[in-house]
Amino acid sequence: MRCQWTRPSKLALCAALVWGGASLSAETPLHGLGDPHLSLIPRSDDERARIADATALPRDFATSEPYEALPAGAGTVPVRRDDRGFAQPATNLPEARLMEFTLGDALFQKLWTSSPSSTLASDGLGPLYNARSCEACHVRDGRGHAPEGPGDTAVSMFLRVSVPADPGDEMPAIADWIATAPDPVYGEQLQDIATVGHPAEYRLDVSYEEIEVPLAGGETASLRKPTYRAADLGYGPLGEGAMLSPRVAPQMIGLGLLEAIPVADILANADPEDADGDGISGRPAIVWSREHDRAMLGRFGWKGGEPTVREQSASAFAGDIGIATPLRPELWGDCTEAQRACRRAPHGGDMDGFEISAEAFDTVVYYTANLGVPARRDIDDPQVLRGKQVFHDSGCASCHRPKFVTARLEDRPEHSFQLIWPHTDLLLHDMGEGLADHRPEGRATGREWKTPPLWGIGLTERISGHTTFLHDGRARSLLEAVLWHGGEAQAARDAVVSLAPAARADLIRDLESL
């Protein structure tokens, strides 16, 4: 029985067949989740004990911890003084594959053109798209930003869109899945650029309201509350009940290492019912894998919507650039059946029926999975050490878990058995009304977001030329990002507000060292 889609009345039976556990029900969605994308070598009892010791939270903040300067383990790269610090290959890449990384870098920067074109290996753009290259959104492999005014580009930001769906319609065999559907005209996301002869779908309009926040010690901070509007709609009104969610392109470093964390280690931190009473109720994002045809842990995307680097890459090619890949073979990208001219337009497809060949796609995936994480700085600086203690004492580490050890892997030595410091639990958390987009995605509610990794965050200004953070770039500093936290993070946020100014400065200094 193939159970990719089923009605809710069959949910428990189908899930049991998918995951192979007779005890599985809609109330126990975690049972049986595995790592079908990894060639795992089982851990010994001795290794498990060593891992538990190595990943334990610190108790002494007088000195740094062993290997803390190496956030990506043996793959950690040196810190560069220029803006190319996120574009380096992991230090431990096999020499024989460095050329593949370099070719992947070239493809990541490649400008795609519309069809028909004399450059058959580069055509297939759009017809609707947000950018002509991966690099255009992830500039220098860093994070994007929201447009700062009418004259600024929105190329590294877009709006996702969906409409409510009937829970009785077919839906994935995943417990707690929230039924939504793509907009019947505009699809899964709004594209603000189009090839010649086609109207763009919209123009992103952003406005801000300033909110003053008093802080202990007589200080104040100002937050900017955004309002997003899909202006100048090119294909008529949005569907009834359309829900919009802004997304800024995230930084690209360390993705292969995040993919190599065993699912069991991530689920060990999940506490959906807050059984320990600490107010933190991390839940795993569970999604249906196109490639593996089964439910998997969602690790990538702001709400954990994709399970692997390959599937995340394929979705970005399809939605952002309109390029067909082996995993997303639609030659028209995100064009819907209602956009007939877009679907009938000339497309690429000379690469074995796709617009990027399977070999070239794999090369891009290899590149994105192996971008090195720069070394942490100033780990023994007294202010950094004080800030690290504030980070832990305030409860930040409850979601931004500092350490994991990746799985032993037969075929990926660069990711195998590394002690890494990403500062994330890769789980969904209710972040409160202030950050809510009111747009569910899979199991994630309109108030939930996946904890983003913090490694490299202190280099944002050097790499990306700005200091804006969060899923929509609203925070103009690390302190503003902290102050937007609510929901499960409300207690941690309030603890930071209550700190003496010197202790708050210590916390920010600690974050800047990551």
Angle at 23 between CA 19 and CA 24, to 5 degrees: 45
pLDDT value at 12 more than 70: no
pTM above 0.85, yes or no: yes
Residues 145-195 have pLDDT tens digits of 999 877 788 899 999 999 999 877 777 779 899 999 999 999 999 999 999
Does the pLDDT at position 444 exceed 50?
A: yes
Q: Residue 349: what pLDDT?
A: 75
User: Is 19 a residue whose pLDDT tops 50?
Assistant: no
- pLDDT confidence of 11, banded at 50, 70, 90? very low
What is the rounded CA–CA span in Å between residue 323 and residue 335?
12
CA distance 296 to 286: 6
Residue 337, token pair as written in the block: 């059946």
What residue ranges in 78-236 does DSSP mark as E strands? 128-129, 157-164, 171-172, 180-181, 193-194, 203-214, 220-231
Half-sphere exposure (CA, 13 Å, Cβ side) for 354? 17
pLDDT digits (tens, 9 = 90+) for 227-264: 999 999 999 999 999 999 999 999 999 999 999 999 99
Q: Decide which of 368 and 3 is more confident.
A: 368
- Judge whether residue 1 has pLDDT over 70: no
Check pLDDT > 90 for residue 514. Answer: yes
Q: Buried b vs exposed e over 74-95: b needs ≥16 C-beta within 10 Å?
A: bbbbeeeeebebbbbbbbbbee
User: Who wins on pLDDT, 459 or 123?
Assistant: 459
Q: Is 487 left (phi over 0), alpha (psi -120 to 50) or beta?
A: left
- pLDDT for 16: 31
Average pLDDT over residues 340-358: 90
Confirm if 222 and 472 have CB atoms less than 8 A apart. Answer: no
* Burial class of residue 96 in the structure, from the number of CB atoms within 10 Å of its CB (0-12 exposed, 13-18 middle, 19+ buried): exposed
Q: 426-445 burial string, b = 16+ CB within 10 Å, else e? A: bbbbbbbebbbbebbbbbbb
Task: Single out the residue of 180, 227, 232 nearest to residue 207, CA to CA.
Answer: 227
DSSP-assigned beta bridge partners for residue 213: 221
Structure tokens of 400? 């931004």
For residue 122, the model assigns a pLDDT of: 84
| Share of residues in the chain with pLDDT > 70 (%) | 93
Residue 319 has pLDDT above 70, yes or no: yes
Angle at which helix 501-512 crosses helix 382-393, to 10 degrees, equals: 100
Q: Which two tokens stand for residue 302?
A: 């702001």
- Contacts of residue 497, defined as CB under 8 A and 6 or more positions apart, other chains included, come to 213, 214, 215, 216, 483
Cα dist from 431 to 246, 448, 456, 484, whole Å? 16, 6, 22, 9
- The pair of structure tokens assigned to 116 is 């028909």
Residue 77 predicted with pLDDT over 60: yes
| Burial class of residue 380 in the structure, from the number of CB atoms within 10 Å of its CB (0-12 exposed, 13-18 middle, 19+ buried) | exposed
Per-residue pLDDT of 193-217, as tens digits, reads 999 999 999 999 999 999 999 999 9
Q: Read off the pLDDT of residues 276-310 as tens digits, 9 standing for 90 and up.
A: 999 999 999 999 999 999 999 999 999 999 999 99
Whether 142 shows a pLDDT value over 70: the answer reads yes
Give the whole-angstrom CA distance, residue 206 versus residue 223.
Answer: 15
| CA–CA distance, 429 with 397 (Å, rounded to integer) | 13
